Amino acid sequence: MEDLRRHLLALGLTGVETFIASGNVIFDRDERPAAELEQAIAHHLQQTLGYEVATFVRSDAEVAAIASHPAFEVEKTGSGPLAVCLLAQPMSPAQQATLLGMRNEHDDFHIHGREVYWLRRQQASESVFSNMLFEKTLKLKTTLRGINTLQKLAAKYPAA
């Protein structure tokens, strides 16, 4: 995580901090549009690390909205873990239909903007769905975060 922090400092970002061992990096607001910043970070990481790193930028307000979005009614979630797939852009209608067609008794999905909420009604190891399957089937890059991590991020870095 310290190496990741140094890589972002090398891009000229300020106030760079990492958040738990999750690949989340927090930094002061940059004036560049999010898509441009995502590309700059991804390009820099690929050049320095030698492999592609999918990069997704969200503001404090966006993280708070993601963390508090009522994707599923409480009684439907049971005790299953809720994860969020972050995307660079919203899915197309065809991609949405494909994803929703993958629902089953163990996995449910809720699409909201550039996020997909994934409700697992069993352990991830028991699910036929995975981040890799998501990317391969929908031909989209994503990163997966547990809702608890996003809620902790939103609490530690509240929207100004």
- Whether the predicted pLDDT of 76 surpasses 70: no
2: CB partners within 8 A, 6+ apart: 18
Q: What is the reported pLDDT for 159?
A: 81
Q: What is the reported pLDDT for 94?
A: 97
The average pLDDT across 58-62 equals 94
- Whether the predicted pLDDT of 72 surpasses 70: yes
Tokens standing for residue 21 = 């061992």
- Whether the predicted pLDDT of 22 surpasses 80: no
Helix (H, G, I), strand (E, B) or coil at 141: coil
Record the pTM: 0.88
- Whether the predicted pLDDT of 87 surpasses 80: yes
Mean pLDDT in the chain? 89
- Biggest CA–CA distance in the chain, Å, is 47
The average pLDDT across 147-152 equals 92
For residue 12, the 8-state DSSP code is T
CA distance 21 to 42: 19
Asked if 44 and 77 touch (Cβ cutoff 8 Å), the reply is no
Domains belonging to the chain, first-starting first, are 2-49 (no CATH), 60-156 (3.30.70)
Q: What is the reported pLDDT for 77?
A: 53
CA separation, residue 36 to residues 40, 51, 88, 131 (Å): 6, 19, 11, 24
